[in-house]
Amino acid sequence: MSPPSFPRRRPWPLLPPSRRSVQSVVDGSRVPYRFCSSSKIALRSALVALDCPGTNVLLPSYLPPGVVEPLHELDVEPRFYRVADDLSADVADAEARLDDETSAIVVVHYFGFPQPRLDEIAALADRHDLALIDNNSHSTLSRRDGRLLGTFGDVGFTSLHKTLPVPDGAVLYFNSSRVDPTERLPLTGVRDRYTCADYRYCAGAAFSATGSVGEAALEFVDHLCNGDDTPYLPPSDDPVGEYQRSKVRMSKLSSTALTRIDPVAVTVNRRAAFARWHHHLAGDDRFAPPFEHLPTGVCPWFYPVVADDPAALVDSLGGVASAFAWPTLPSGVEGNPEYRAENERARRLVLLPAHQDMTPADVDRLAARVR
């Protein structure tokens, strides 16, 4: 069966597989890797590869609840360390929470920006013989000092669909003698055929794009007529259900797309949208951006901003689906006075769209609504 057709629109710079592509970026890391369907499955696989079940693992407190689902399933106790207002890890707090049963510490790069205290967390892991898990869920293409985020730990991972126009996917990196890159991990790898969900994704993208729906829609209909035993499961806000549904291998569609998407164009478009939001909002007393600068090498996920009235900010954008408060915090952190600052930040921080489909003019039109 031929692969689904990608809708041809300006933000989708599709290339012959032999030229630069996201796949070439992943290969260029020179770190052994596996594909997974999601970053949660990548985290689950990392915990298994590191033999963490039955222990406790340190995680930053500023995370959505779905992140801890793999830990719960594997009988790993999550212990949450504090995160400062600048989204840097509180290393002293992390050290105070570990004990003889701690096996690993997770470090997070928020919104595609390198974790400011990455080196200190790595040193903490070394002092206490902990595995370092490098969580770069927010941006496949971001780098620090030329090195891909997600490759700094003993194991690490990055989500594909958060910053690329693909339906699913994550990359799990192995970067230490603590793990065997050849170990059998059943939920890793790529499906060997296109599924109904792949064709639905292409059809939806085609119908939402300008231009002809043409080949994508026709192949979608043909595939449905020929039948497929893989049910289509729409996204859910339920973290447990979403996690369970992601227990499949990565789609063949995402694997194909990685060989055809230009990483430079994606990064340039996202950085331009981020910079334009910053131009409009950084000087407004109602908003406080966590990041004052856009460092070289960063491919941002969204434009995050702390708002005096976050609900009003989202409402003023007239139903833009990709503008939302982030995150809902996990049980044990949400509402806990020990994490008062994290709860306040989660209540007020809004993510504004800065994806590769946007132009600076698109941001100008949206920003005009919030002034």
pLDDT per position as a tens digit, 206-236: 555 433 333 443 444 344 344 333 333 334 4
For residue 31, name the pLDDT band (cuts at 50, 70, 90).
very high
pLDDT at 90 over 80: yes
At 294-347, the pLDDT tens digits run 999 999 999 999 999 999 999 998 777 689 999 999 999 999 999 999 999 999
pLDDT at 221: 39
Residue (of 109, 130, 114, 151) closest to 51 by Cα position? 130
Task: Give the whole-number percent of the chain exceeding pLDDT 70.
Answer: 86
Q: Phi and psi for 240 in degrees, rounded to 5? A: -65, -50
pLDDT at 15 over 80: no
Burial 168-194 (b: 16+ CB within 10 A, else e): bbbbbbbbbebbebeeebebbebbeeb
Residues 84, 354, 147: CA angle, nearest 5 degrees: 65
pLDDT at 357: 85
Neighbouring C-beta atoms of residue 365, cutoff 10 Å? 11
Q: If one looks up domain 22-174 in CATH, what number appears?
A: 3.40.640.10
Mean pLDDT of 342-370: 93
pLDDT at 322: 80
pLDDT at 325: 92
Q: Helix, strand, or coil here: 304? A: strand
**Under 8 Å between Cβ of 76 and 52:** yes
Task: Give the whole-number percent of the chain exceeding pLDDT 90.
Answer: 75
Considering the chain, tell me which residue range(s) the CATH 3.90.1150.10 domain(s) occupy: 263-367
For residue 242, name the pLDDT band (cuts at 50, 70, 90).
confident
Mean pLDDT of 20-47: 96
Mean pLDDT of 47-58: 97
Mean pLDDT of 44-69: 96
> What does the mean pLDDT of the chain come to?
87
- Can you read off the two tokens belonging to residue 360? 């600076």
pLDDT at 142 over 90: yes
pLDDT at 5: 41
Mean pLDDT of 100-118: 98
The alpha-carbon radius of gyration of the chain (Å, integer) is 20
Considering the chain, tell me which residue range(s) the CATH 3.40.640.10 domain(s) occupy: 22-174
pLDDT at 45 over 80: yes
CATH topology of domain 263-367: Aspartate Aminotransferase, domain 1 (3.90.1150)
